Amino acid sequence: MKTNLISKAVVMLAVVMASVMNFSASASNPTQYVKNEEMTGELMTAKTIFKNEDGHLFRHLRYTYTYDNENRVTSKEAAKWDNVKEAWVPYFKMDVSYTNSEVELSYARWNS
Q: What is the pLDDT of residue 16?
A: 56
In the sheet that holds 32-40, the strands lie side by side as: 32-40, 43-53, 56-67, 73-82, 87-98, 103-109
pLDDT digits (tens, 9 = 90+) for 10-60: 666 566 566 655 555 445 455 699 999 999 999 999 999 999 998 899 999
Percent residues over pLDDT 90 in the chain: 67
Q: Where are the alpha helices (DSSP H) in the chain?
A: 2-24
Domains of the chain: 2-109 (2.40.128.720)
pLDDT digits (tens, 9 = 90+) for 103-112: 999 999 998 7
Q: What is the pLDDT of residue 112?
A: 75
Does the pTM exceed 0.85?
Answer: no
